[in-house]
Every structure is written in structure tokens, then in C-alpha cells.
Structure 1
Amino acid sequence: MKKFALIGAAGYIAPRHLKAIKDTGNDLVVAMDVNDSVGIMDSHFPDAEFFTEFEAFEAFVQDKAMNGEKLDYISICSPNYLHAPHIKYALKNGIDVICEKPLVLSIKDLDSISAYENKYKAKINSILQLRLHPSIIALQEKVQAAPKGKIFDVDLTYLTSRGKWYLKSWKGVDEKSGGVATNIGVHFYDMLHFIFGKVTHNEVHYRDEKTASGYLEYERARVKWFLSIDSNNLPENAVHGEKLTYRSITIEGEELEFSGGFTDLHTQSYQRILADEGYGIEENRTAIKTVEVIRDAVIASNSNNTHPLLQKVKSA
């Protein structure tokens, strides 16, 4: 049984990590979050220690290590801009890391945590759960089996409506979240790289605090993409539920069906990590570079490769 800590226990994604730790037969020793709305812990690890101040969490971890109870892993679900310092804290203490996406916000940060990993000999593992989805794996195999030189035409559309709270939280601050393309899209860019290979061209057609759109070329694909948290951009056939959402990936006009199959991907990710088969720093490099370019690129105003939904935004 491995001993875990969790940073960011009150966040949206934390319950998937709590479940994964429990489902893999391990123990959560301590959790930390500046917010104390962490009742979800009682369903998984009611005896775990909890702190709202990092200094108190840090002291607890040190005391455990002094008593011969060093942690094996720290799972990081904190806001994006805190991933790098929290990763460095774990590595400096010789504790392996499991970190949510995006691993970090920039290539500079990626190289920095790589240096820490090399110096302190602890390991960084990342959650790239779409690489484990059966439909994504099947598509990757289909692309690899296609005739050499075949380039696939792809449309990626993802809209997940968010209320006014979003822009008032850290997620609405580009320096903290990386912007909308990073915060809601980085795992899609990793998926595209995983399936279609290296990025060969990256242009951005629109970017504001709620929406981003552009065009990417990979070794095996041409991709028009559109990401938004603005419900005004939703098409008529959006899903009406807890949140208004719309997700579509078409390849050569054929819809990729991957609406299901997400339930246990974090648990599968943990199983791979515990078997020393996790995804590390370098597997994240392409996606992080992609979103960094999207964040900083000059807008291309005269492209012939715009996403169909972009016209709706510009005419609003």
C-alpha cells in the first residue's frame, strides 16, 4: 500500500484522484487546499489529515518523513499556475508526483521541473487520460494503418458553458490558467499529437477570454479547432443538462464517438503509474508548446482554414 498526499482536494478534478487512490488499494495520508469544502474526502478517506495552509501541510509531511513514514506520491490538483512549485516541492523531498493537466504552463517551466527531476531523482507522472480511451487508441491504430502520406481532415469542436464565476476565478486569468485553450483544451491537443504526430503548423484565428479558434497541421492531419466556454456559441444540438455542452471531433466527415468510457480513466492512469508505465515530462512537451503558441500568437486574419463556428462569433 502506497502512501499519498493530495494538493487541491477541493477542486473539480480531485474526486477522480481520490477514487483512483482508493481503487488501486492505496492510502491517502493527508490532503491540502486553501478551501475547506472537502467533504468528498469522507467517502474515500475519512481518516486522512487535512490542512488549509501549505506551511502546516509541509510541516506534517516533514514530521512523517522524520518518523520513517515518508510519502510515496503527492497528487497535484491545484490551480494550473501552482503546478510547477508544487511539483518542485515534492521532488525536493524525494516524493514522486502525479499531476493533473496541464502539467505546467510553459516550456520554460517544463525544462525547470525536468532539471528538478534529474537532480532529486524523484519522478513526475502526468494524467493524459485521453491516450487510454479505447476510441482514441482505435483511431490512432487506424491512422497508423492508413496509406503512407495520407493526411486526414479533422474538425475539433468543444464548448462547455461556464457561468460568471469562471472569469472571476483563477481560471479567468491567463497568467494563472493559461487561457481558455489551455484550461479546457490542452488534453485535446495532446490527443491530436498522440494520434497524428508532430505539429508542423499552428495558426490562431480568434482569441478572447471565453473563446479561441485556429488551425493546426500535424504530420498526418489538418485540424480546424474551436473551443469556448460561452453558451452563446453553442449549436442547436448541444446537450442540455447540468451544463450546456457540445463536443464533436470529425475525421474525414465521420464523427468520432467517445462520449462514454471516461469513468475509470484516472484509475487506469494510476494503475499504469504504479506499474512504472506512466506518462512523464517529455510526453507533455508537444501539447504544452502548442497551447503556449496559441496563447501568444499573432492573430491570422486572412486564413482559408477557419472553423465553421467562427463566423457565428464574429457576426455576434
Structure 2
Amino acid sequence: MKNFALIGASGYIAPRHLKAIRDTQNNLIAALDRFDSVGILDSYFPKANFFIEPERFDRHLEKLKYEQNVELDYISICTPNYLHDSHIRMALRRGADAICEKPLALNPWNLDALQKMEYETGQKIWNVLQLRLHPSIIALKAKVDSAPKDKVFDIDLTYLTSRGNWYYTSWKGDISKSGGIATNIGVHFFDMLSWIFGDIKENVVHVQTHDRASGYLEFKRARVRWFLSINYDVLPSSIKEKGQRTYRSITIEGEELEFSEGFTDLHTEVYKNILNANGFGLEEARQAIEIVHQIRNTKPIGLKGDYHIFAKKELAKHPFSKLH
């Protein structure tokens, strides 16, 4: 049984990590969050100690080590994007491996510093890249790998996940903290595309506002038109009529990739691989971080070239946005 701590216990994604720790028959000894709405701990680890101050959290872990000989093996990180880098460093300094949500850092050069810390501490940084474990994605990679080596696939990626006004007040609406739309909701898709289709060759941004981003990516084996948005108004009418607020579509050579199911236990599978020293490390995460960093720092060219059809949808400013 391994000992875990978790940072970001009140967040949306924390329950998946709690479930993964429990389902792999390990133990959570401490959790940290500045907010105390963490009753979810009762469903998984009611005996875990909880802290709202990082100093007292760190002190508790140190006392467990030196007074009770309790070693910490992993720290799971479920915090806002801009804090991942700092919390990874905290984990390594505490003598634990870090298991971190995407992105590991907002800037590619931060990965180089983290890599040095890995070397100096002897600890590992693991990234949660759960789409790589989805059965449909694995099958697609096998299909691409078996295709003629000079085959370049044409892909349309559309991900619309509606968010309310709260989004713009939260850290997610602040590009300096979230990295913007492409980073916050797109980085896992860009990682998946990198994993399947190889090195990036071209990165063009057509549209980038507070509520959407769209562009063109060319990989070694794929040409990708992509569109991401958090605006309910851009959803297809057929989705709205069903009362749904999310639309996800990937078409490859005009054929829809079906992967609407199978997400439930992917974090648990990620943890199983990490515990077997077979998880996704820092280098696997690098290209997706480079892609979203470039998107964030590229001036959109407008509706020119090979753009996604949704890029033509009407733009609407939002009064609460921090991005325009």
C-alpha cells in the first residue's frame, strides 16, 4: 500500500483521483485545498487529514515522516493550471513522485527546470494523459500505425463545452492562470493528436477570443482543423434540442470517431500504470504544451486558408471576460 497526499481536494477532477487511489488499494494520508468544501473525502478517505494552509500541510507531512516513520510516496495535483509547476516542485522536494493533471506547466521552458529537479531528487513527474488509454483512441492509433507510412489523414476536431458566467470570474477566465481556451479545454486533445500522428509541422491560429479558439495543425501524419468553445450559442441546434450542453466530434477522413463512452475509469487506469512505473512522464507531455503555448502567443490570421467551418460562427463579446 502506497501513501498519497492530494492538493486541490475541492476541485472538479479531485473525485477521479480519490477513486483511483482507493481502487488501486492505496491510502490518502493528507489533503490540501484553500476551500473547505471537501465533504467528498468522506466517500473515499474519511480519516485523511485536511488542511487549508500549505505551510501546515507541509509541516504535517514532515512530522509523519520524522515522528511516525510514515513515508509519502505520491502527491496528486488537481489544482488550477498556473499552480501545477509549483505544486510539482513541492512534491519532489517532499521526496514524493508527482501525479499531475494537464498541463504540467503553462510554458515549455518550465519543463526543463522540472526535468532538472527530477534528476536532482530522483523522483518522477507523471502526467494524467487519460485519452491515451481510451479504447477508441488506442484503436485509432493502431489503425494509423498500420496505414501506409506516407498516408496523411484529414481531421476535423470540434469540442464545445458550455460554461456559465462563473467561468469568467474564476481562474479559468484569466488567461495568465488557465492559458486560455486552447490550454484549458484543448490540451488533452492536442496531446492525443500528438501521440497518434507524430511531430508538429505547422500551427496556424484563425480565431482566438474569450470564448473560442480555432486553427489548423499539421502533424507528420495529419492535417487538423480544430475548433474549441465554451459558448452555448455555438452548439448545433440538434444538441440544444436534446437539452445537452456539450458536443464533441472528431472526424477522420470524413468518418466520425466514436468515443463518447469509456471515460469512467480512465484515471484509475492511469494510476495503475504509474504504480507499475509505466505512466506518462514529462517528455510525453512536452509537445502538447508547446502547441498550446504557441497558440496562446500567436496573432490570429482570421478566416484565411484551411479553417474549421465553425470558425465562421458569429463572435460575441462577454461583459465579464478578462481576455478582451
TM-score class, shorter: over 0.9
Structure 2 partner of 1:32: 32
Give the gaps of 5 or more residues in structure 1: none
1:240/1:165 CA distance change after superposition, 3 Å: farther
Give per-residue Cα distances to partners, 1:118-176, cap 9 Å, x unaligned. 11111111100000001001001111111121111000000000000001000111111
Q: CA separation in 2, counterparts of 1:208 and 1:238? A: 23
Equivalent residues of 1:160, 1:243 under 8 A apart: no
Tell me if 1:15 matches 2:15: yes
Structure 1 partner of 2:97: 96
Give per-residue Cα distances to partners, 1:14-38, cap 9 Å, x unaligned. 0000000000000000000001111
Structure 1 partner of 2:304: 303
Structure 2 partner of 1:155: 156
Normalising by the residue count of structure 2, what TM-score does the alignment of the two structures yield?
Answer: 0.95
Give per-residue Cα distances to partners, 1:208-251, cap 9 Å, x unaligned. 11100000000110000000001111112226778601000000
Normalising by the residue count of structure 1, what TM-score does the alignment of the two structures yield?
Answer: 0.97
Tell me if 1:176 matches 2:213: no
1:146/1:79 CA distance change after superposition, 3 Å: same
Structure 2 partner of 1:109: 110
Equivalent residues of 2:157, 2:224 under 8 A apart: yes
Q: CA separation in 2, counterparts of 1:103 and 1:86? A: 10
Tell me if 1:214 matches 2:215: yes
Deviates more, 1:87-96 or 1:11-20: 87-96
Q: CA separation in 2, counterparts of 1:197 and 1:116? A: 27
1:239/1:121 CA distance change after superposition, 3 Å: farther
Structure 2 partner of 1:202: 203
Structure 2 partner of 1:61: 61
Structure 1 partner of 2:322: none
Equivalent residues of 1:80, 1:104 under 8 A apart: yes
Equivalent residues of 1:238, 1:244 under 8 A apart: yes
Equivalent residues of 1:154, 1:221 under 8 A apart: yes
SS of 1:202's partner is: strand
Aligned AA for 1:25? Answer: Q
Aligned AA for 1:97? Answer: A
Alignment of 1:80-91 (within 5 A): 80-91=81-92
**C-alpha deviation, 1:93, in angstroms:** 1.9
Q: CA separation in 1, counterparts of 2:164 and 2:147? A: 42
Equivalent residues of 2:303, 2:312 under 8 A apart: no
Equivalent residues of 1:161, 1:243 under 8 A apart: no
Structure 1 partner of 2:258: 257
**C-alpha deviation, 1:273, in angstroms:** 0.2
Deviates more, 1:292-301 or 1:215-224: 292-301
Structure 1 partner of 2:224: 223
Structure 2 partner of 1:238: 239
**C-alpha deviation, 1:112, in angstroms:** 1.4
Alignment: residue pair count: 316
**C-alpha deviation, 1:302, in angstroms:** 5.3
Aligned AA for 2:143? Answer: K
Equivalent residues of 1:193, 1:218 under 8 A apart: yes
Q: CA separation in 1, counterparts of 2:280 and 2:244? A: 30
Tell me if 1:144 matches 2:140: no
1:23/1:131 CA distance change after superposition, 3 Å: same
Give per-residue Cα distances to partners, 1:193-222, cap 9 Å, x unaligned. 111111100000010111000000001100
Deviates more, 1:261-270 or 1:90-99: 90-99
Deviates more, 1:235-244 or 1:22-31: 235-244
SS of 1:313's partner is: coil
Aligned AA for 2:275? Answer: L
Aligned AA for 2:294? Answer: V
Give per-residue Cα distances to partners, 1:32-91, cap 9 Å, x unaligned. 000111111100001110001111101101111112112100000011111101100111
SS of 2:306's partner is: coil
1:95/1:203 CA distance change after superposition, 3 Å: same
- Aligned-residue RMSD, C-alpha: 1.4
Equivalent residues of 1:193, 1:287 under 8 A apart: yes
SS of 1:238's partner is: helix
SS of 1:299's partner is: coil
1:221/1:94 CA distance change after superposition, 3 Å: same
Q: Percent identity?
A: 57
1:50/1:240 CA distance change after superposition, 3 Å: farther
**C-alpha deviation, 1:313, in angstroms:** 2.9
Give the gaps of 5 or more residues in structure 2: 318-324
Equivalent residues of 1:103, 1:284 under 8 A apart: yes
SS of 2:278's partner is: coil
